[in-house]
Amino acid sequence: MNDVVRNIFRFVFFILLQVYLLDNIPPLHRFIIPVIYFLFILWLPFAISRFWLLIIGFLTGLSYDYFTVTPGLHAAACVLIAYFRPFIVNILIPKDTSEFNYSEPSAKAMGWAPYAVYVFALSLLHHGYLLLLEWLDVGNFLDFLVKVVSTTAISMLLIFTAEILFPRRLKYRTNTA
């Protein structure tokens, strides 16, 4: 499947999954908030330009915002992780985008440990920024800290569960291709 088509499907899937499944889970605890929609941004191809990454991140966050009627909140967080994504990838694996054997970030492409760090860093950034914005509006600081930790942990759990349960079929790329 074409990368563009695949990512469009993925975009719709993640937004709907977040809005209709995860947001409808009966509340277990006030600190347990399952969030996974931003995995779409994490799974975007390496080769995407930084500017388009920002635009796509913004649109992803905004789409979800319109469902939760918090326009701008998730958009800001998504733009932030879209901006930092290339830096983190570069720090973890100092390679040129054309040197990757797989087109997308995954455990296979990066190795489990760097991939885990990549997911953790971006989750932490996303939730940290999101909850900071929420905290500025209303809330207390201790709650904010606990929520950052708990939501990041839940997101990590969800992302790795998804990775293990639903492995993406990724084409191995050679330099000749």
Partner 1 sequence: MRNVFLFIRRYFTFISFVLLQVFALSMLFRYNKYHRAVFLGKANELTGYVNSQYDNVDNYFHLKEENLRIHKMNDSLLNLLPGNFVKVDTGSHVITDTVGFDTLHLVRKYLAKEAKVVSNSINSQKNYFQINRGSKQGIKDNMAVINSDGSVAGQVVGVSENFSQVMSLLNVHSTVSAMMKKSRNTGRIEWDGQSPLYLILKNIPKSDSVLRGDTVLTGINSFNYPPGWMIGTVTDIVEDRSTNFYVLRVKPSANFQNLQQVFVIENLQRDEQVELDKTTQKKVDELNKRKQ
Binding site for partner 1 (CB under 8 A): 16, 20, 50-51, 54-55, 57-58, 61-62, 66-67, 69-73, 75-76, 79-80, 82-83, 133, 137
CB of 166 to partner 1, least distance (A): 22
CB of 122 to partner 1, least distance (A): 15
The Cα 153–Cα 115 span in angstroms is: 15
CB of 91 to partner 1, least distance (A): 16
In terms of C-beta density within 10 A (0-12 exposed, 13-18 middle, 19 or more buried), how is residue 67 classed?
middle
The Cα 131–Cα 12 span in angstroms is: 24
Residue closer to partner 1 by CB (options 24, 98) is: 24
Q: How many residues are recorded in the chain?
A: 177
Residue closer to partner 1 by CB (options 79, 92) is: 79
* CB of 42 closer than 8 Å to CB of 82: no
- In the three-class reduction of DSSP (H, G, I as helix; E, B as strand; rest coil), residue 91 is classed as helix
Residue closer to partner 1 by CB (options 16, 32) is: 16
CB of 41 to partner 1, least distance (A): 13
Residue closer to partner 1 by CB (options 60, 123) is: 60
The Cα 63–Cα 18 span in angstroms is: 11
